[in-house]
Amino acid sequence: MPTAREALLDVALAALTHRSWSAVRMVDLATAAGVSRQTLYNEFGSKEGLARALVRQEADAYLQGVRRLLATPAPPERNLVAVAEWTVTRAAARPVLRALLTGAWNERLPAPRPVRPGARLAPVPAQRRADAGPPAPGELVAATAACAGERWAAGCELAVRLALSHVVAPPVPTGRPEGQCEEPESWRPMTPAITSVIETILRVETTSPRKIIP
């Protein structure tokens, strides 16, 4: 059974599929989560605090997924390709994560700032971490690479950066005029050809005597 905090974060994320963050009301979230408004404010302090926690949760869930994929028994290059494929799929389905990875925030999404220096610390330990603010794209990529350990960190960073190039500039689908961009809702996972290229690059680089990807 989810905690009140988890339930509130879930309904806040779900609300973003129907309306912009500015139109999301705290009272509606509390009702949807089955808790009181006081509980909501006790957990997050404010709507801005809720936004910080929501964004932090997306970053943490992404990194947890990366660690799970890297722990799968398989050749390292296959695991790194799996991270790249999952990054594209996850970013396509989750706009907050996509904004975290690319820095491309829009008016529909919460784009929280860290709390002001000297502000009172949140009474909830999890909120204190969230109040530090969301990681910048480069910080999140570095944290992703660190999940692979020192030996494979460079390969993991390469895989993620190649995946993000696909997220930022997805392929033009058949039947769409050349140069016309896809809408975010129609972004698709990487094509088998791109996946094969990434796997080949990583296989060569991670098995070379240098053991370092430039």
Taken in order of first residue, the domains within the chain and their CATH numbers are 4-171+181-207 (1.10.357.10)
Q: Which tops the pLDDT comparison, 208 or 60?
A: 60
**R_g over Cα of the chain:** 19
Question: Is the Cβ–Cβ distance between 188 and 108 less than 8 Å?
Answer: no
CB-based contacts of 155, cutoff 8 Å, min separation 6: 76, 77, 80, 148, 202, 205, 206, 213
| Per-residue pLDDT reduced to its tens digit, 56-96 | 999 999 999 999 999 999 888 888 888 998 999 899 889 99
What are φ and ψ of residue 16, in 5° steps?
-70, -15
Contact 84, 162 (CB under 8 A): yes
- Higher local confidence (pLDDT), 174 or 39: 39
- Residue 180 reports pLDDT greater than 50: no
Question: What confidence tens digit (pLDDT) does each residue in 138-173 have?
Answer: 999 999 999 999 888 988 998 899 889 888 876 665
